[in-house]
Structures are given as structure tokens and as C-alpha cells.
Chains A and B, each alone.
Chain A
Amino acid sequence: MSNNENIAPQRRAEAGDNIVEIQDVHYAVGGRSIFTGLSLTIPRGRITAIMGPSGTGKTTLMRLITGQIQPDQGRVLFDGLEVPKLNRKELYKARRRIGMLFQNGALLTDLDVFENVAFALREHTKLPESLIRNIVLTKLQAVGLRGAARFMPGDLSGGMARRVALARAMATDPEVLIYDEPFTGLDPISMGMIVRLVRQMNYALGITSIVVSHDVEELAILADASYIISGGKVVASGSFLELKDHDSEIVNQFINGLADGPVPFHYPASDYYEQLLAGKP
């Protein structure tokens, strides 16, 4: 039985091989345009990377896909569902098919590691305690933290917190896992662990993965396909090799980590010498 059967027909569009489709999305906040005609697709069962310089709206894109915010214009489809048109109940139903790993883990600080992973199971199911225990321990074993089940979030390192968050995100066996900056601030060992786990989730369980990041090296070995967003639009897409040979200046600057280029080193400002001589801030 399809998860979408109860959704009103006018909110359903055709779902093909792409689980997410973004079509000509415009979005502005506080008078500042974030997206100006963004279009991209996320294929089912693959690892797709969303890359781009800081402040280009990568996290905003994830918030659009998950219905946390609504576009000013354009369509956001999740498995054929028009996300902005879903009511709260329908949106929650769709979200139960998505797991999200937040940059800071976002673990519930009043619950221990075990209860954090069990949280969605307790909220959405009436499974017996013995089964919940087995599921939680299985997920914690998968991320290597079964031994830390009774730790409180405050006792965990950044890397451990992110692995617990990953166990929590996959507790209900979602179809899609969204990783928001999963590598930021991690030491090489923790980073390697997260890369390995993302791969395992994808290949062993067939989960569609969307990885939002600007860590080019990690994404090069991880992603099946990548999008680079800049200036409110997709500026390049393809495999890492295709992006590496891309003739666009901005793609070249981003992939090779050049300090200056189309994305300027200096934020727009008045003339440097004039400002120094003016004696005012």
C-alpha cells in the first residue's frame, strides 16, 4: 500500500525515478533573494551532494524540501507530493519517510542516547518495549555507540553526537536521509566514520541520501552526483570528474578552493582608502 494513498489528488503529481524535484523555485527572506529560479532533481536510491559556497542557501534548500519553509514561487515535489500545499497532517506523514541529520546533532538534551534513538518509535508506534530495545540497540550498534546508550547528550563529543543523531534519523527506517553539513568540525577519524556510515546506509539499505556540504574531498568519494549552487541557481551538476573539468569559473574556484574569483574574497564595501581617511566606521 502506498504511503500517499490518503493524500488529496490535487496535491499529487506524477512520481518518477526522482524522489525530489525542485522546479523554478524563487525564495527571498528579508528582501534578500536566496533562490532565483532554482531547479534540480534528486534520483531515488542514490547519493546526491548539494554543494556551494557558504551562504548560498544549501540549508534553506533542505528546509524547502522538508516543508519547514515555503517557496515564493515554483514547485517543490517530494515523491510527487506538492510539499508547500500539504496540510500539517499530510506534511507530518511525508516527514515520517524522511530522516534528517542536523549539523549540530540536535539531540534532545533531556533524554539519554537510548531514549533519543527510541524517541520517534515511542511517538509513532505502539511497539512492545522489548522490540523497541532491540531496534535501538541495532541502530546504535550500526553507528558503533551501543556502549554509550546511557550517556546524556552533554557527555558526547561532536562526532559521537552526530553518530547518535544518525542512529536516531534511521530509527524508523526512512526512505530518504538528509545530511546537513555532516562533516563540519569533525576530526579525520570521526569524518571517516560518517563517510563510511553514509555509504553503508545507501548501499545496504537502498536509502536515498542528500548530502549538503562544502567539503569537496569527502563528497568526491561519496556522491553519485553533485549540484553546485551559487547566486540562487544551480551553476553546475554531474559527477565529481565532470565538475572537476567544468569550464565555469565559479565551479573551478569552488572545486579547487581558490580564495578569490567570481565569489569575491571581499564582501562589497566602499573604497578602502576613503573609509580610512574619513575616520568613521
Chain B
Amino acid sequence: MSAIGELVEGAGTSLAEVGRITKFFGRILGQIPAAVTKPGLIVDQIYNAGALSLIIIMTSGLFVGAVLALQGFLVLQRFGSEDALGGGAAIALLRELGPVITALLFAGRAGTALASEIGLMRATDQLTAMEMMAVDPIRRVVVPRFVGGVVAMPLLTLIFISIGILGAYVYGVGTLGVDAAPFWSQMRANVAVEDVTQGVIKGAVFGVACSLIAVYEGFTATPTAEGVGQATTNTVVNSAVMTLILDLMLSAAMA
């Protein structure tokens, strides 16, 4: 009985949290028109979330593409279809690996930076100081960071996918000996517009989810060193879980 009680209480707490995030999301959306009147702040945040994540995204993309080529080659070799490597790698990267791994890396790099930065601003009274100067911190601090993340994520996803395909080509053609011509021709023949669309849509949705989680965790962080640490951890864990749940939902919806 107590276990059921705990379960019900846990479900109630989770539901309340969902309600709070939804309300917070509503406040962000309400402040976007006012925030875009200062585009400089948003551009700065696109740079912070996007440009500063480029190295980790590109490096990871290169290695994921190379590993995909290696594993794909070993499987395709059993069926004598090594020529399909280019198409297979591109589809896997576009539909799944690109958006999901980019979101996980984004949460680890940009998401944690956002959460800890906003959390520290909370802990050092900077957000309260803004409130006292009659400046809404949602408009001044949260919205530019949220929009920056939302714009950066699909771009990072496309860069990850492109570099991933390059990694697959370099390893597949350069090391495994797959012919370059069928690598590209198979890719052109088999990759459909829907595959690209799915990658971009997933990147955009994951961008909204991961950015929202990061700014929410930071904004609501307990104003202590431990609280900011907890907010950072929650950002990574919740973003990863949410990305994987949304991935299944989007894959099923767009199947």
C-alpha cells in the first residue's frame, strides 16, 4: 500500500514539474517578441551555443561516421553489398544518429553551460538585481539563450551529419577499400528528401527540448553551490532521457 502511495505521490510530483515547465515555456514564448528587439543578445547566444560547440560536434561526427562505416562494412560484406555503404551510412546519420548524438553532445556542452551560468546568476543575486531594476530576467537572460539554442541545434545537427558522412567516406574508401563512385551514387539513389527532413525536424525539436530543460534548470536552481551542481546534472540527465523519448515518438510519427 505504501509503495502504491509513493508511486502516486511520485507521479503527482512529476506532473506538477511538467506543469511548471509548461508554464515557464509559456512565459518564454510570451517574451520572445520583446526579446527579438535586441537581436545582438540572441546572436551572442547563437555563437555561445553553436559556434563554441562546433569542435566537439565535428570531432564526434567524424569518428561516429568512421565507426558507422566500419560496422556497416562488416555487416554489408556478409551480403556482398559493400557498395551500399554510402547510402546506409547517410540514412543512419540523417534519420537517427545525427540528431540524437548532436542533442546528447549539445546537452553536455551548451546545455550545462546554460544551466550553470543562469544558476550562478541566481545564486549571486544577479537575477534578483535585474528584477529590482524592473528588467524581466526571462526576457533579458532566458529568452536569448533559449532562442540561441533553438537556432543552433538544427545547424549543429546538419554539420554533424555532413562531417559524419565525410568520416564514413574517408574510412570506408580510404581504409576499407570501398569504391568511391558507388559510395556516392548509392547515397544519391537511396537518400530521399524525407530522410533529410526527418533529420532537420528532429534536430529542431531536440533543440527546443534541450534548450528549454537547460534554461529551466538554471532559472529554478537552488541558489547554492550544491543547487547549481544539481541543476547542471539534471540538465544532462533530463535532456538525454527526453531526447530518447522524443526520438521514438518522432520516428514513429514520421515512419
B254 at the interface (CB under 8 A from A): no
Inter-subunit contact A66/B124 (CB<8 Å): no
Inter-subunit contact B134/A124 (CB<8 Å): yes
* Chain B residues in the interface with A (C-beta under 8 A): 120-121, 124-126, 128-136, 140
Inter-subunit contact A95/B133 (CB<8 Å): yes
**Known contacts A104-B124, A106-B124, A109-B124; A123 and B135 CB within 8 A of each other:** yes
**Known contacts A106-B126, A109-B126; A93 and B134 CB within 8 A of each other:** yes
| Chain A positions 88-115 with a Cβ under 8 Å from a chain B Cβ | 88, 92-93, 95-96, 98, 100, 102, 104, 106-109
Q: How far is the CB of B227 from chain A (nearest CB, A)?
A: 16
Other-chain contact of A95, B125, B132, B140 (Cβ < 8 Å): B132
- Which single residue of chain A is at the shortest CB-CB distance from B123? A104
Interface majority SS (helix, strand, loop, mixed), chain B: helix
* Chain A residues in the interface with B (C-beta under 8 A): 66, 68, 88, 92-93, 95-96, 98, 100, 102, 104, 106-109, 119-120, 123-124, 168, 172
A-B contact pairs, 8 of them (CB 8 A): A96-B133, A102-B125, A102-B128, A106-B128, A106-B129, A107-B126, A109-B126, A123-B134
Q: Chain B residues with Cβ under 8 A from A106's Cβ? A: 124-126, 128-129
Q: Chain B residues with Cβ under 8 A from A123's Cβ? A: 133-135, 140
Inter-subunit contact B126/A120 (CB<8 Å): no
Q: Chain B residues with Cβ under 8 A from A92's Cβ? A: 134, 136
Instruction: Please report the C-alpha to C-alpha distance between residue A27 and residue B126 in the assembled complex, in whole angstroms.
Output: 25
Identify the interface centre among B120, B121, B134, B135: most chain A CB within 10 Å of its CB: B134
- Which single residue of chain B is at the shortest CB-CB distance from A96? B134
Identify the interface centre among B130, B133, B134, B136: most chain A CB within 10 Å of its CB: B133
Other-chain contact of B132, A93, A98, A109 (Cβ < 8 Å): A98
Other-chain contact of B134, A95, A104, A109 (Cβ < 8 Å): A95
Q: How far is the CB of B137 from chain A (nearest CB, A)?
A: 10
Identify the interface centre among A93, A120, A168: most chain B CB within 10 Å of its CB: A120
Inter-subunit contact B134/A66 (CB<8 Å): no
Inter-subunit contact B131/A68 (CB<8 Å): yes
Q: Chain A residues with Cβ under 8 A from B134's Cβ? A: 92-93, 95-96, 120, 123-124
Inter-subunit contact A66/B132 (CB<8 Å): yes
- Which single residue of chain A is at the shortest CB-CB distance from B132? A100
Q: Chain B residues with Cβ under 8 A from A102's Cβ? A: 125, 128-129
Inter-subunit contact A104/B125 (CB<8 Å): yes
Q: Chain B residues with Cβ under 8 A from A95's Cβ? A: 131-134
Q: How far is the CB of A241 from chain B (nearest CB, A)?
A: 33
Instruction: Please report the C-alpha to C-alpha distance between residue A93 and residue B136 in the assembled complex, in whole angstroms.
Output: 12
Q: Chain B residues with Cβ under 8 A from A68's Cβ? A: 128, 131-132
Instruction: Please report the C-alpha to C-alpha distance between residue A95 and residue B124 in the assembled complex, in whole angstroms.
Output: 20
10 smallest beta-carbon distances between A and B, as pairs: A106-B125, A92-B134, A106-B129, A95-B134, A120-B133, A100-B132, A96-B134, A123-B135, A102-B125, A106-B126
Q: How far is the CB of A246 from chain B (nearest CB, A)?
A: 33
Instruction: Please report the C-alpha to C-alpha distance between residue A168 and residue B130 in the assembled complex, in whole angstroms.
Output: 11
Q: Chain A residues with Cβ under 8 A from B129's Cβ? A: 100, 102, 106-108
Instruction: Please report the C-alpha to C-alpha distance between residue A100 and residue B134 in the assembled complex, in whole angstroms.
Output: 11
Q: Chain B residues with Cβ under 8 A from A96's Cβ? A: 133-134
Q: How far is the CB of A12 from chain B (nearest CB, A)?
A: 19
Q: How far is the CB of B116 from chain A (nearest CB, A)?
A: 12
